Amino acid sequence: MKEAIEYKELMDYSEYNKIEDIQINAWGFPDREVVPKRIIYATHRSGGVVIAAYLNHEIIGYVWGWIGQIDPYGVFIYSHHNAVVREHQNKGIGIQLKHEQRKWALEKNFKIINWTFDPLQSKNSYINLHKLGAICNNYRVKYWGDMHDELNIGIDTDRFYCNWFIDSTHVNKRLNKDFADYTESVNNNRYHLIKTISNNGMLKVKELDFDIKETILFAEIPIDFTKIMQNNNELAKEWREETRKIFTHYFNIGYSVIDFILDKSVTPWKSYHVLEKLESIDS
């Protein structure tokens, strides 16, 4: 039987201790990286959003954001944390927390939620871009400087700064599972910005293409970048440097990442960012 999860705004300061614990459990944060509960509570009390996921009255995940204002987006919600304890990850709780955050933002007349994520993490890319409908044309180099958690130590913290236009046609189509099908194009090996080879079971960049001008382009990334980081630090650094070149180049000439493909028709699976030239990024 599916577990009944309750989602609600976290109002009681006495429960914020759990948020610190979840950061350590979910991400392996050392103490120096943990955001103190009083800071999170202060942003909530000053107009931000903290929504918790409860199982049997115990907090097992949360999403946290605050109000930001940057041109050209105007006023928006910046979503900083979306975390679920390891025992309950991969159960759809994280994505439901984002839906709850969207519902909260729409009720308060916000139009956009922004956040950052690692473009080399295929699971997060698939959720953020394909399922939720975020888009990105903003690449931030070494955005978080040096991080010391289990996942990021020793690797440049480049990030996509993505935009979630929460009531746009693009997002509403995603939430209604109205997806474009790029399978034929990607399987025909056309318009691939990154040519790859397999090296001892690890995906490696063979060649980059900076000259393709088609409307839809594909940028392959490893299906499991975390495994590469854990087993081959130099290869992980190479992936960061090579994809940095591709994304910064194509963003600079007008492309946006608008979707993400998990190709399960091949073994091992392959994964691709989908880039397109858009007339308006909030359509």
Tell me the two tokens of residue 162.
Answer: 């993505």
Asked whether the beta carbons of 51 and 100 are under 8 A apart, the reply is yes
Same structural domain for residues 13 and 150?
yes
pLDDT digits (tens, 9 = 90+) for 153-191: 678 999 999 999 999 999 999 999 998 888 888 887 789
Same structural domain for residues 126 and 206?
no
Tell me the two tokens of residue 189.
Answer: 């090996």
User: Is 283 among the domain residues?
Assistant: no
pLDDT digits (tens, 9 = 90+) for 78-90: 999 999 999 999 9
Same structural domain for residues 128 and 67?
yes
Same structural domain for residues 264 and 166?
no
Detail the DSSP E strand segments found in the chain.
5-9, 49-55, 58-70, 74-84, 112-117, 139-140, 159-165, 194-199, 202-208, 216-221, 255-263, 270-277
Same structural domain for residues 141 and 201?
no
pTM score: 0.93
Domain boundary among 151, 175, 199: 175
User: Is 170 among the domain residues?
Assistant: yes
Domain boundary among 156, 175, 194: 175
Asked whether the beta carbons of 118 and 141 are under 8 A apart, the reply is no
User: Is 282 among the domain residues?
Assistant: no
Same structural domain for residues 187 and 171?
no
User: Is 26 among the domain residues?
Assistant: yes
Percent pLDDT > 90 in the chain is 81
Q: Which of 5-9, 158-162, 184-188, 221-225 has the lowest mean pLDDT?
A: 184-188
Same structural domain for residues 62 and 83?
yes
Same structural domain for residues 158 and 193?
no
Domain boundary among 138, 155, 175: 175
Distance CA 265, CA 166 (A): 31
Q: What is the DSSP letter of 88?
A: G
Distance CA 27, CA 4 (A): 24
Same structural domain for residues 168 and 197?
no
Alpha helices for 141-232 (secondary structure H):
169-175, 183-187, 225-231
Same structural domain for residues 191 and 123?
no
Same structural domain for residues 223 and 113?
no
User: Is 82 among the domain residues?
Assistant: yes
Domain span at 231: 183-277
User: Is 124 among the domain residues?
Assistant: yes
Q: Which residues contact 201 (CB under 8 A, 6 or more apart)?
A: none
pLDDT for 152 equals 65
- Cα-atom radius of gyration of the chain, to the nearest Å? 19
Q: Into how many domains does the chain fold?
A: 2
User: Is 45 among the domain residues?
Assistant: yes
Tell me the two tokens of residue 105.
Answer: 């933002």
Tell me the CATH number at 107.
Answer: 3.40.630.30
pLDDT for 30 equals 87
* Residue 108 Cα distances to 75, 78, 104, angstroms: 12, 14, 7
Chain centroid offset of residue 129 CA? 7
Distance CA 108, CA 216 (A): 35
pLDDT for 1 equals 46
Same structural domain for residues 208 and 266?
yes
Distance CA 164, CA 37 (A): 26
pLDDT digits (tens, 9 = 90+) for 25-55: 999 888 889 999 999 999 999 999 999 999 9
